[in-house]
Amino acid sequence: MTKYEYVARDIEGNTERGTVEAESKKEAAGRLIDRGMFVIEVRETSSYSPSLLTSFEAFFHSRDIMMFCREMSVMVSAGMNIVDCLELLKREAGDEWKRGIIEDMSRDVQNGGSLSEAMKRHKIFSPTLVALVGAGEMSGTLDEILERLAVYTEKRHETREKLITIMAYPFVLLVTMIMVGFFVLSFILPTFAGLFASISAELPLPTRILLGAQEVIVNHGVAVLILALMIPVLIVFMYKKEEYRVKFDRTLLRLPVVGALMSYMETTRLAGTLSVMLSSGIVLDRALTILSDTTGNHFIRRALLLARGDVQKGRTLSSSLRRWGIFPSSMMELMATGEETGELEMTLGKIEKFCRMEADNMADRLKALAAPTALIIIGGMVGLIVFAIAMPIIDTVTAFS
């Protein structure tokens, strides 16, 4: 059985989109006709179906999203209709993957669908983008919304790139330390093992620890390797469970320096996205729902969902978010002022600018400190290993002298 996508109209003239399984395209159309539908289009499910695009893949196409919003903004502002814009982007697409997605979107719009509906079928477009485009279509301000989205996605892309750059240093440092340790224990230390065994005096503690680690790797290397592989698998398994993921994400936000940086970045994202959505006519509780769907931090997601409930009950957003201690208290005070004066949208824009500046400054400081810190740690580790190996040799030579 092959799955086919269809566009059809019922007796009342309402357009319906969906999928049907059949042996052939003709059989799929026949099944729709038997249901009393007027078939407009039947096509085999595209290999670019959004169900095949995971959020992991979407993460690495943030630049494509940024460029799509910018190019659409320029073309729509110039007076081009949506279909022509998509057809032009399809011709200029650099690879088959992007071309397939844009072609699907173009076909949906040609069949009477809206741009937001076409975007919704592909996971690469976040609920925030889809909701904002939909609001722009309803209000007749799509060109303005696309311009705001272009700026918004560019800023998010810059923030994400900085975060990736910062997180790359600890990862490289960890891998380097593991490789250095494995090399020393496997190739260098065995050369001195016989010499150490011939020394009658008690070996220093650092040397004994090094020899013990080497013995464990030699005698139980397979078990150590299996354990080393099981630990990340176990962490991933636990991270998939909501209760553990919330605790893990909350712990990240409370780390000494990195936690403060992540807090400023999340505040930037929250304030910027809320400002754009509110200015586009999306009500606050709906905006909070969309925000909760787009954040990767589950602790913040829970806080936003509870804040939505508080807002629906009549409480202010600032008072609801303040009790979680996620965002800087000074920013919550500014948000409260915006709510009291009825200028929340403008205040959120100022909060975004301030937090972005603070996050950029912290990121620059961390990047400046990361390289020398990595050198100090790796140098210290190598120095300790050399010291542990040389110490008993020096003691022996001193004793003979």
**Domain shared by 194 and 257, yes or no:** yes
Quote the tokens at residue 68: 């799509």
Give me the CATH number covering residue 3: 3.10.20
Read off the DSSP letter of residue 391: H
**Domain shared by 235 and 381, yes or no:** yes
Nearest CA among 169, 159, 163, 160 for reference residue 370: 169
The whole domain housing 89 covers 48-125
**Domain shared by 22 and 110, yes or no:** no
**Domain shared by 215 and 245, yes or no:** yes
130 lies in some domain: no
136 lies in some domain: no
**Domain shared by 166 and 221, yes or no:** yes
**Domain shared by 40 and 52, yes or no:** no
**Domain shared by 63 and 16, yes or no:** no
**Domain shared by 346 and 218, yes or no:** yes
Q: For each successive 10 residues of the chain (401 residues), what is the average pLDDT?
A: 71 72 78 79 55 40 78 87 89 79 87 86 80 80 80 75 73 78 76 70 77 78 82 82 84 83 84 82 84 80 88 89 84 90 89 87 80 79 80 72 59
**Domain shared by 391 and 256, yes or no:** yes
133 lies in some domain: no
What's the confidence (pLDDT) of residue 152?
A: 74
312 lies in some domain: yes
Burial (0-12, 13-18, 19+ Cβ within 10 Å), 352: buried
84 lies in some domain: yes
Q: Which residue has the tokens 């290397």?
A: 221
**Domain shared by 38 and 52, yes or no:** no
80 lies in some domain: yes
356 lies in some domain: yes
What's the confidence (pLDDT) of residue 24?
A: 76
Quote the number of domains for the chain.
3
